[in-house]
Amino acid sequence: MKIIIVGGVACGPKAAARLHRLRPHADITIIEKGELLSYAGCGMPYYISGEVHNINELMKTNLGIVRDSHYFRNFKGLNVRNLTLATRIDRQKKQLEILDLQSITREMIPYDKLILATGGQPIMPPIPGIDLKGVHSLHDLHSARKIKDAIRDGAKKAVIIGGGAIGIEVADAFIKNDVETTIIEAKNRLFAKVLDPDMSATVQDYLAVDDIILQLSTRVIGFEGNEEGGLKKVITDRGIVDADLVINAIGVHPNTLLAEDAGLELGVTGAIRVNAHMQTTDPDIYAGGDCVESIHLITRQPVYIPMGDTANKHGRVIANHIAEFYPSNSFPGVLGTAIYKYGDLSIGHSGVTHTMATSLGYDCESILYPGLDKPEFFPTARRIDMKLVADRKNHRIIGVQIVGEGEVSKRLDVLATAMTFGATVEQLAHLDLGYAPPYSPAIDNAINAANICCNKLNDVSRSVTPAQVWQMRQNGSKLLLVDVRTQREYQSQRIDLEDVVHIPLNLLRQRMAELPRDRPVITFCKVGLRGYEACQLLRGLGLDNACFMEGGVALWPYPKITGQPEQPNLSTQ
């Protein structure tokens, strides 16, 4: 069997290596337009930051061998033709036309099975000056080297266009190199596609500590150069930003030109449509990686979510099917699970956001829960903020977002696993997870979040989010917010609203008669537990208009003040 693979970065080499193990005598050739093969692209921001000292580390195996063309020939028994461009597929003759980029010669090579792993390309908007020296996109090791060289050559002011995963990771690299950084984002918040507004606010607050300048709801309309043709200024619809380095990080689109020219069908996302075995509309042509669309495991709709780990899974499924080793093996779809790092902050998400679920017609419920990732007495305990989204109809978990300095990945993976198998919040609440103080609280954050969500779904508790409180006030609703923290907590930091009163939880029963019954009474504390207890107490004593604010002061993204407050007179409210 003669197998041709177009693309030598993630999906292609994975499929080739797996095929070689299953069918050692197969004739397998990788066609790669670039010079480099099978590198860890997700590691590029860490090379720029200096955490990875040598860029060659991103091309090595676990044994320290560089995965170049010699490695694939000698260790994997594969034919590798790098610096070679695939230009045309003749499906009737089952031939691929290739162009040697060094000799500029063309030839047709036959195949029995063809695998398209052509990847994605950075979106390059038609902005005047985008070709200036100093304007980059981070899409391969060559671009990573250029960005690193620019910093070494003295770049001091950088602009990142795009407030998503690549933008945040590159911003972290720049801060580590003492480069003044501005992020320009067209939407009104960071991570707008994958985080709800309340979780985006947590990330933005964290970045502000590092003095990263955020320009939200802003569009870049041009670049201005200096006399030497280098970058000087970034022109936006809201002003001008000085810069000597720009990273275009607005996203990628699938590289589908070869497939389109061959008449292969594209999906609704614009990526190549494939079945569960990764076959295109031509059964002898497979496709995987960043050039294809997947099915979302929650919505069951086609999505384009390019990820390196997904590309490797695609490669394995393709190889298994071609080799007929595991013919029933199929790729079920994705949740869009991802995690990013900025400084000590981890940002993770999986499934759908509350915003997305609502737009798709779900009757969903969500909860906010900030908590420590270990017992409070443990010295390495750090806070993580969780948002859990569930379907009201069947109580299935359909989304999670986690942000914090604590152990985010552990909880994210637990929730992604639960969603993959269709778990409900009740089932999540009873998971038998590992416990010891160095690793987690006795009741893990994921289980606590599930319990809170169970209470809300079953009307055991009533709650509102900080955003809902803010919106109610914007709409003119008369509210009374009751801060049930201690006096010391109240004095150190409090919510900057005039309709907040302070009644410590231990005094709430005695002072309940002071609370109105003709408008919502919203209790809150630092993170939510005492606010919940206060709400339950008031409701148990007959105050049916009581509810609590999820996340408390910790997740209040609006103005806060410090200092000695004046206690309002409740009789006048």
- Please identify every residue annotated as catalytic: 42
- For residues 141 and 34, is the Cβ–Cβ distance under 8 A? no
- For residues 226 and 133, is the Cβ–Cβ distance under 8 A? no
Neighbours of 513 (CB within 10 A): 8
How far from chain centre, in Å, is Cα 240?
A: 29
For residue 286, list its beta bridge partners.
115, 279
Three-class secondary structure of residue 36 per DSSP: coil
For CA atoms 365, 368, 372, 376, the dihedral sign is: negative
Helix (H) or strand (E) segment spanning residue 400: strand 397-404
Angle, helices 69-76 vs 11-22, to 10°: value is 20
Q: CA 196 to CA 277: how far, in whole Å?
A: 33
Q: CA 106 to CA 85: how far, in whole Å?
A: 9
Q: Would you state the structure tokens that stand for residue 570, as one six-digit string? A: 């409740």
Q: CA 381 to CA 405: how far, in whole Å?
A: 9
Q: Would you state the structure tokens that stand for residue 320, as one six-digit string? A: 């298994």
Q: CA 550 to CA 357: how far, in whole Å?
A: 20
For residue 414, list its beta bridge partners.
none
Q: CA 273 to CA 292: how far, in whole Å?
A: 6
How far from chain centre, in Å, is Cα 479?
A: 36
